[in-house]
Amino acid sequence: SRGYVDRTRSAAQVSDQVINYAANYLGVPYQSGGNGPSSFDCSGFVKYVFGHYGYDLPRTATQQANAISTVVSKSDLVPGDLVFFKTGGKAIGHVGIYVGDNTFIHASSPGDVVKYDSMTSNYYTKNYVTARRLIQ
């Protein structure tokens, strides 16, 4: 069933709904090309979670970054923003959902699961590219 977002609610309230829904999938295994709900890759997870609330995102992390026009500086991140990272030589190859307190939720990598990670870890600090705001 599709989640209901009351468009009269604040962006923060909508973001809370999205983040709480995303947390339902903690521990679900990563699989390349996984679109959910039994497995996800990073962009499949973001597309699935936001799709539950009526947001239609493209399939890949690069396409998602390009499709959302509101760029957010790292210092202005709010829960619900999408955070993008470079991986494997790609300018943008990974995406997650910022949840606050320098933490994001994502379908991590092969052999791993949907989990929380710190934006301040050496790997994610070094590979951070940009952030976008979908929930306005």
* Residue positions annotated with a catalytic role: 42, 94, 106
Task: Return the number of other C-beta atoms located less than 10 Å from residue 71's C-beta.
Answer: 11
CB 93 within 8 A of CB 112: no
Q: How many whole angstroms separate alpha carbon 136 and alpha carbon 36? A: 25
> Which position has the token pair 């239609």?
56
Tell me, what DSSP letter sits at residue 30?
B
Q: How many whole angstroms separate alpha carbon 9 and alpha carbon 32? A: 35
